[in-house]
Structure 1
Amino acid sequence: MPTSQDTDVSALRALAQTYFDAAYEMDAEKFASIFHPSSSVTKVAENGTLSVTPIANWLAAVRSAKAPQQQGSQREDQILLIDAESDLALVKVKLRVPPRSFTDLLSCLKVNGSWKIAQKVMTSNA
């Protein structure tokens, strides 16, 4: 019989798969379905400072980005870690959106029974 931990891990795997699909298709609505509306995206900017972008602004940028799928790029996505405890989880993923590879830490919270990304912290390299 599956435990609530098993159920959470399955739900978080599904969230990660939606995340990968959204990135491959550059589908802002698909991303919006798994991010909490008050979430943000955090990274180190090119000038070395901390950059925090509200999710609405990040989704606007996604809408104007070229989708790897449209460019015929091979998918390269991988779940590196899922760590869940109660209503808190960390999902570490690696994916490729040419010309860059990204490692993202997705801090997730179970809100009203559904897992949502509360914060995305990311880094990338060419």
Structure 2
Amino acid sequence: MMDRTYADITAALGDYFDGLYHSDTSRLARIFHPQAIYACATEGTLTHLTMEHYFPLVDARPSPASRGEPRADRIVSIEFAGPVTAFVRAECAIGPKHFTDLLTMVKLDDRWQIMSKVFHFDLRSA
């Protein structure tokens, strides 16, 4: 049972990583719950967005794919709090920013969805 659950989350996160790499909010909308939050405090102030405000930013930026950037996305860990609640630590990169994403996920409507994305980034030279 748990193996299937890990596989389901891993498969669902394909939309997350592909959506970020291709700046494709239609893919991101499949994995983010409509009421999800996006938050970061790396630069000393809180960035806190809803999907209504986050998706237009993604739509407006050139995709890593269009710039020929190598993919650096991976799932570091998945922890379960129960059969419909999970915590995922993931990594990815966009330009010089290398992200550590802490994703809380819930299984609603028979699919895994991100409820919150709280992240940190480091700047790295090319």
Q: TM-score, normalized by length of structure 1? A: 0.91
How far, CA to CA, are the matches of 2:42 and 2:86 in structure 1? Answer: 26
How far, CA to CA, are the matches of 1:13 and 1:45 in structure 2? Answer: 26
Give % identity: 30
> For residues 1-126 of structure 1, what are the structure 2 equivalents within 5 Å?
3=1, 5-44=2-41, 46=43, 48-84=44-80, 85-126=82-123
Mapped contact 2:32–2:115 kept (Cα < 8 A):
yes
Q: CA deviation at 1:8?
A: 1.3
Mapped contact 2:42–2:120 kept (Cα < 8 A):
no
Letter in 2 for 1:112: D
Structure 1 residues 96-122: Cα deviation after superposition (integer angstroms, max 9, x where no partner): 111210110110001122111001101
Mapped contact 2:42–2:121 kept (Cα < 8 A):
no
Mapped contact 2:93–2:99 kept (Cα < 8 A):
yes
Structure 1, unaligned runs of 5 or more = none
Structure 1 residues 19-75: Cα deviation after superposition (integer angstroms, max 9, x where no partner): 1111110101110111000111011163x2322111110011000011010001111
Letter in 1 for 2:68: G
Q: How many residues align?
A: 122
Structure 2, unaligned runs of 5 or more = none
Secondary structure of the 2:3 match is helix
